[in-house]
Amino acid sequence: MVPALAVADELRTDGSLVVFAGGGRAEAELVPAAGYEFVAFQVEGLSRNNPLKALVAAAKALAATFRAWRLIGELRPSAVMGGGGYVAGPVGLAAVLRRRPLVLTEADSHLGLTNRLLAPFARRVGLAFAIEGRGAPRFVVTGRPIPPPATDRQAARAHFGVPEGRPLVAIVGGSLGARSINEAAIEAFGQADDLEVVHAAGERDLAALKGHAVGPHYRLFGYIDDFDQALAAADLVVSRSGGSVFEIAAAGCPAVLVPYPYAAADHQAGNAAWMAGAGAAVVIDDGQLDAERLAATVRELLADPGRLEQMRQASLSIARPGAAAEVAALLREAAA
């Protein structure tokens, strides 16, 4: 939802009316909270190993497509944006059938199934990364849309109660968390008194992690709504390497990245390589991550301010903070 909301905020600056349509997951809370109308469909991913679940998902997708057909007929939108993933499939297909201009966005280093199917019918496809064989004029490298990064470091540190002069490590594992990072981090830093930690563990593991005794310098959360503030405050971030790498880069935050090994098309490894290749990140394989390795890597980096500054500049050099504006421009062009 981060890219879609960032684009919507750009469109709203010129008075455009934006309506969201999607599943009943996190978007059902995030979209209304951001001030946008939300229409929910019942959709789910297509199982590749359970025929019965696949049949149920196909039936839901068909019903959602009929509902999207009616919705687009009622709204008659000037343009429709698909944000990737199975949730975007029914609305994207309905837009094609209704002959409404369709613009797609792809946040990963490969086209997902929905975008592969819809791309031939789209006016434009905004790519986070260049993809071989996907070139102009239909495919445009825009970067991944993100909200504007926070820039007031002092205010961000005060927000989390971090004293000036103390090194701060932000640990995040995505919206669901990352068990390997969570367990390694709390063992490595839970009782540390030489640094401050802000740790977004995800709601799934939060209860179990709260059973660990942690010191006063370790701040444990399920989810950090103001992620940009955490990045602005941090001297170093430990993270998975999904779409958040674009927010990390825009914040100029040095990173230790632990790619999720089972991500589709191994795209998190590609994202991590993109940052590491620029000199903005150190990469640890998930299978090699433990408390000792994480603690040694983090402390080695924190002890070298010169290297951290080089990583910070490298991170900023590859950032695409204007991606949301670029995708909004593609939508305006399609609408015109």
83-93 pLDDT per residue, tens: 888 888 999 99
Q: Which residue has the higher pLDDT, 214 or 335?
A: 335
Asked whether residue 29 carries a pLDDT value surpassing 90, the answer given is no
Asked whether residue 46 carries a pLDDT value surpassing 80, the answer given is no
Q: What is the pLDDT of residue 105?
A: 95
Asked whether residue 266 carries a pLDDT value surpassing 90, the answer given is no
Annotation: CATH topology of 2-147+321-335: Rossmann fold (3.40.50)
pLDDT tens across 103-151, in order? 999 988 888 889 999 999 999 999 998 888 898 899 999 999 999 999 9
Q: What is the pLDDT of residue 312?
A: 97
Structure-block tokens of residue 165? 């002069």
Asked whether residue 212 carries a pLDDT value surpassing 60, the answer given is yes
Asked whether residue 54 carries a pLDDT value surpassing 80, the answer given is no
Asked whether residue 265 carries a pLDDT value surpassing 90, the answer given is no
Once rounded to an integer, what is the mean pLDDT over residues 31-35? 91
Q: What is the pLDDT of residue 333?
A: 95
Asked whether residue 205 carries a pLDDT value surpassing 80, the answer given is no
pLDDT tens across 283-312, in order? 999 999 999 999 999 999 999 999 999 999
Asked whether residue 48 carries a pLDDT value surpassing 80, the answer given is no
pLDDT tens across 304-321, in order? 999 999 999 999 999 999
Q: What is the pLDDT of residue 174?
A: 62
Asked whether residue 26 carries a pLDDT value surpassing 80, the answer given is no
CATH 3.40.50.2000 domain extents, the chain: 2-147+321-335, 153-318
pLDDT tens across 148-199, in order? 999 999 999 999 999 988 999 999 976 555 889 999 999 999 999 999 999 9
Once rounded to an integer, what is the mean pLDDT over residues 12-30? 86
Once rounded to an integer, what is the mean pLDDT over residues 15-32? 86
3-state secondary structure the chain: CHHHHHHHHHHHCCCCCCEEEECCCCHHHHHHHCCCEEEECCCCCCCCCCHHHHHHHHHHHHHHHHHHHHHHHHHCCCCEEECCCCCHHHHHHHHHHCCCCEEEEECCCCCCHHHHHHHHHCCEEEECCCECCECCCCEEECCCCCCCCCCCHHHHHHHCCCCCCCCEEEEECCCCCCHHHHHHHHHHHCCCCCCEEEEECCHHHHHHHCCCCCCCCEEEECCCCCHHHHHHHCCEEEECCCCHHHHHHHCCCCEEECCCCCCHHHHHHHHHHHHHHHCCEEECCHHHCCHHHHHHHHHHHHCCHHHHHHHHHHHHHHCCCCHHHHHHHHHHHHHC
Q: What is the pLDDT of residue 264?
A: 76
Q: What is the pLDDT of residue 319?
A: 94
List Cβ neighbours of 329 (8 Å cut-off, separation of 6 or more): none
Angle value at C-alpha 289, between 291 and 173, nearest 5 degrees: 90
Q: What is the pLDDT of residue 59?
A: 85
Q: What is the pLDDT of residue 175?
A: 57
pLDDT tens across 229-251, in order? 999 999 999 999 988 899 999 99
Q: What is the pLDDT of residue 27?
A: 80
Architecture of domain 153-318: 3-Layer(aba) Sandwich (3.40)
Partners of residue 104 on adjacent β-strands: 82, 125
